[in-house]
Copies of this chain bind each other. A is one copy, B any other.
Amino acid sequence: MMKLRLLRVRNALVRECMAEFLGTFVLLLFGCSAAAQVKTSRETKGQFLSVNMAFSVGVMSAMYLTKGITGAHLNPAVTLSFCVLGRVPWRKLMPYSLSQVLGAYVASGLVYLVYYDAIMEFSEGVLTVYGPNETASIFATYPTEHLTLGRSFLDQVVGTGMLLLCILCLDEKRNSPAPSELTPPIVATIVLGISMSMSGNCGAAINPARDLGPRLFSLTAGWGTEVFTCYNYWFWVPVVAPPIGGVLGCLMYLVFIHWQLPGPDPPEDTSTLSTISDKIKQPSSTWENEVELKCAHL
C-alpha cells in the first residue's frame, strides 16, 4: 500500500476535480447511451421514459461515487448555487465546472465509439441536426420547433430552480431530512421527475456541463458547426439559464423554508453534506455562518 499511496494526488482540488470529472462521465455515459439505444433502435429497445430513467440511474451512481469527495455536484449550476450559499468556496467554481464539462465530453466520445455502428446505420452515414434521421439529439439537447427563445430560457430557469429547491431540504436536520445514505436515489428520483415533466420544450438539460460537453463533442465528431448555430445559436440557453435558475431556486428555498425554521441552528448542521477535504481544511466554519455572510451580500 505504501507504493500505491504514491498514486494519490497530493493536491486536494485536483482530487476533487477528478471526482467531478468521473461523476459527470458516469452520468452522461448512462444518459447518452440510453439516448443512443432508444434513437438507433427506433424505440424498439426503450422509449422516452427509459432515457429519463437512465439519466436518473446515472445521477444515483455518480453521487455514490463522489458524494464523499466533493458533494457530487455534477453540474456547474449546482456548484454555483452552493458557492452562492457559501457551501463551496468560489475558487472551486471554475475548476469544478471545467471538470464537469470535460467528463461530459469524454463520456460522449465513449458513447459515440460504442454506438458508432448503430449511429451510422440509423443516420445512413450522414450526421445531421435536423430531420427524421438526425442523431445530434443523442448528445446535446435541442428545442422543439416553435419554441420561442424567452420560453426556452424560462423553461431552463424553472427546471433548474425546481432541482435546487427540492434537493436543498434533503439534509436539513431541523426539517424532515432524507437518510443521508439514501440521498443519491432520492435526488435521482427528483431528476427523473424533472425530466418526465419539464423536458417537453427543450430536453431538460438543467445543467451546462450535461449540454455543453456533448455539444462540443458532436462538433468535433462530425456533426459540424450546426450543433451550435442551429435554432439561431440556441446553444447558450442551457449554459446560461440553469445557473440563474439554480440561484433562484435556492432563494425560494431560503425564503419559504430555510429562514422559517426554528433557530439558532445547531453547529453540527454542516456535517452531512460537507466533504472530506472541507472537513480537513475548514473545521471551524459552518454552513450557516457562510450563508449568513454570503446571503447578506445579496
Please report the C-alpha to C-alpha distance between residue A182 and residue B178 in the assembled complex, in whole angstroms. Answer: 7
Q: Which of A53-79 contact B (CB under 8 A)?
A: 53-54, 57-58, 60-61, 63-69, 72
Given contacts A33-B197, A49-B49, A64-B186, 14 further A-B contacts (CB under 8 A): A1-B264, A3-B296, A4-B259, A4-B291, A18-B256, A31-B197, A49-B50, A61-B193, A64-B170, A67-B175, A113-B154, A174-B276, A176-B184, A178-B181
A276→B262 contact, CB < 8 A? yes
Q: Provided the pairs A37-B198, A260-B15, A262-B276 are in contact, do residues A65 and B165 lie with their beta carbons within 8 angstroms? A: yes
Interface residues, chain A, CB within 8 Å of chain B?
1, 3-5, 7-9, 15, 18-19, 21-22, 26, 29-31, 33-34, 36-38, 40-41, 44-50, 52-54, 57-58, 60-61, 63-69, 72, 110, 113-118, 121, 144, 146-148, 151, 154-155, 158, 162, 165-166, 169-170, 172, 174-179, 181-182, 184-186, 189-190, 192-194, 196-201, 252, 254-257, 259-264, 276, 280, 288-289, 291-292, 295-296
